């Protein structure tokens, strides 16, 4: 169940190995101005111990197995002290949604050791992918995810979504706890190797001694699983007493850094970024399950937005008519050109290149492209794609107190331009709720730039491609390597984004 990054990081193979362990459920369609609420739990509950100065204090108060003693725990704790970078790398992603994970574990009344499990599994990297196909911070396998209603398709992989995965993984762990009559250590062990392997190991011990029910410490399991539970308990020791181990825990706020927003149609993260102050990459890091950086065609949908920018997002939903475009998947066929594809899908070459982070118009047979589609209204209906007849425009819904003058200042244009676009008289009175055409702000992502990316332990071309919304084939071409190449940690790749 370990993500590939965590596999490399946790290879202390004296006594250990590495491990492996929809459609997402969305809320009812939102009204024109979707509600935006800070998130603690999708269902109910509050952050455990909100008076705590940081999240580690909340975790400490819920640890249940500090009395466990075994040489394997000692060995694991010693390994952590020799590799302090593992804990130090948690901060960027932990700040986004680890507080939500902790809150959900607390809401369910589970021991806080469960909240440490995704650190062991993936170092909280939502893009972690194991060699066996487990993905996300909880390293869910496809069949496990499917069992708990987590969607995995071309548009969306809920195993990487912090909400969906933090519903499914605790559900599975609670099932495993019940399977083993309330024994959490056996539940954690079976999360690693499956309940069948743990039950067989129990039966083997029971045949030798029928006087006592076998505990985790009595079982003869594979080295990978025998080391898995001790790692979690060792990390719990370190969280409880970091000074004793000479380690500093990164400061993590005790409240989630995102709010939930409902949207009633397919939306593109790049479009939202262009219209707000929400950084495109930051928005994607909050919604890592969106494989195409756009919600699936069928709604309604749920987006995570930064808490401090939630009011701005709500204003966008209330006053802007977002593009009616939707996105489709197209696999390049022999003889295709980008111009042909654009014509057949009523879009432009520029729009396709922007949607797929393409620096040139070169395409190859087998490439998968994301195409903006605009239904029967044609390309002119998409206000954020430049038409062939004029500059890009977008829709704006008039709010109370608006005038042509205030709207022109807001969009850095002139009253004359607004009257030509709509058309209107200079002294026209505006009614709340009217829709106007206004100049669209320039796209932040229209100009591709080349960046240097340093490969981290456990990185694969697929992970890097997903992270930067490009294809493996593109990365291979940009760097003169094979699409099947193994990456060396520390090496650098050129990425055109």
Residues 29, 477: contact at Cβ < 8 Å? Answer: no
CB atoms within 10 A of CB 425: 9
Give, in degrees to the nearest 5, the angle at Cα 92 between 89 and 95.
120
Q: Which residues contact 460 (CB under 8 A, 6 or more apart)?
A: 4, 129, 487
CB atoms within 10 A of CB 246: 9
DSSP 325: -
Residue 288, token pair as written in the block: 């890592």
Using DSSP's 3-state secondary structure scheme, residue 5 falls into: helix
Residue 496 is a catalytic residue: no
Alpha-carbon distance of 283 to 292, in angstroms, equals: 13
Phi and psi at 300, nearest 5°, equal -75, 170
Q: Which residues contact 444 (CB under 8 A, 6 or more apart)?
A: 270, 273, 274, 280
Question: Which H or E element spans position 467?
Answer: helix 461-467
Residues 99, 256: contact at Cβ < 8 Å? Answer: yes
Alpha-carbon distance of 364 to 331, in angstroms, equals: 9
Using DSSP's 3-state secondary structure scheme, residue 348 falls into: coil
Residue 179, token pair as written in the block: 């399977």
CB atoms within 10 A of CB 244: 11
Residue 335, token pair as written in the block: 């003889």
- Of 94, 1, 108, 99, nearest to 44 (Cα)? 108
Which residue in the list 104, 113, 121, 271 is annotated as catalytic? 121
Alpha-carbon distance of 308 to 38, in angstroms, equals: 10
Residue 415, preceding peptide bond in cis (omega within 30° of 0): no
Residues 327, 297: contact at Cβ < 8 Å? Answer: yes
If phi > 0 it is left, if psi is from -120 to 50 it is alpha, else beta; for residue 429 that is: beta
Residue 18, token pair as written in the block: 């590495």
Alpha-carbon distance of 380 to 390, in angstroms, equals: 10
Alpha-carbon distance of 337 to 340, in angstroms, equals: 5
Which residues are catalytically annotated? Answer: 121
């Amino acid at each position: 169940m370990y993500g590939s990054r965590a596999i490399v990081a946790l290879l202390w193979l004296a006594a250990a190995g590495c491990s492996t362990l929809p459609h997402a459920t969305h809320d009812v369609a939102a009204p024109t101005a979707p509600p935006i609420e800070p998130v603690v739990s999708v269902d109910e509950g509050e952050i455990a111990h909100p008076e705590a100065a940081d999240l580690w204090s909340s975790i400490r108060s819920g640890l249940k197995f500090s009395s466990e003693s075994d040489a394997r725990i000692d060995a694991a704790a010693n390994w952590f002290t020799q590799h302090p970078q593992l804990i130090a790398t948690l901060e960027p992603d932990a700040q986004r949604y680890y507080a939500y994970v902790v809150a959900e574990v607390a809401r369910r009344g589970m021991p806080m050791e469960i909240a440490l499990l995704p650190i062991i599994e993936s170092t909280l990297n939502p893009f972690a992918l194991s060699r066996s196909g487990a993905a996300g911070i909880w390293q869910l396998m496809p069949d496990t995810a499917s069992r708990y209603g987590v969607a995995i398709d071309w548009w969306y992989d809920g195993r990487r979504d912090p909400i969906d995965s933090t519903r499914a993984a605790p559900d599975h762990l609670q099932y495993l706890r019940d399977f083993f009559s309330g024994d959490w250590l056996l539940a954690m062990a079976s999360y690693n190797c499956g309940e069948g392997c743990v039950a067989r190991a129990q039966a083997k011990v029971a045949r030798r001694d029928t006087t006592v029910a076998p505990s985790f410490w009595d079982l003869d399991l594979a080295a990978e699983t025998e080391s898995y539970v001790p790692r979690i308990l060792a990390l719990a020791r370190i969280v409880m007493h970091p000074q004793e181990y000479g380690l500093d825990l990164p400061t993590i706020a005790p409240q989630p850094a995102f709010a939930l927003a409902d949207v009633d149609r397919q939306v593109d993260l790049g479009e939202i970024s262009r219209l707000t102050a929400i950084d495109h990459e930051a928005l994607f890091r909050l919604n890592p399950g969106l494989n195409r950086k756009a919600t699936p065609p069928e709604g309604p949908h749920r987006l995570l937005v930064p808490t401090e920018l939630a009011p701005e997002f709500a204003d966008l939903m209330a006053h802007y008519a977002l593009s009616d475009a939707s996105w489709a998947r197209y696999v390049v066929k022999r003889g295709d050109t980008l111009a042909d594809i654009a014509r057949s899908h009523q879009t432009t070459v520029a729009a396709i290149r922007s949607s797929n982070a393409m620096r040139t118009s070169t395409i190859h047979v087998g490439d998968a492209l994301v195409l903006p589609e605009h239904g029967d209204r044609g390309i002119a209906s998409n206000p954020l794609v430049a038409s062939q007849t004029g500059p890009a425009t977008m829709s704006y819904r008039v709010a109370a107190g608006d005038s042509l003058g205030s709207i022109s200042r807001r969009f850095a244009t002139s009253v004359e331009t607004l009257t030509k676009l709509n058309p209107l008289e200079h002294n026209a009175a505006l009614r709340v709720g009217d829709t106007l055409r206004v100049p669209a702000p320039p796209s932040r992502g229209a100009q591709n730039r080349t960046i240097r990316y340093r490969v981290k332990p456990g990185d694969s071309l697929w992970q890097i491609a997903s992270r930067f919304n490009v294809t493996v084939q593109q990365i291979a071409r940009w760097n003169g390597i094979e699409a099947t190449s193994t990456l060396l940690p520390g090496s650098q790749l050129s990425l055109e984004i």
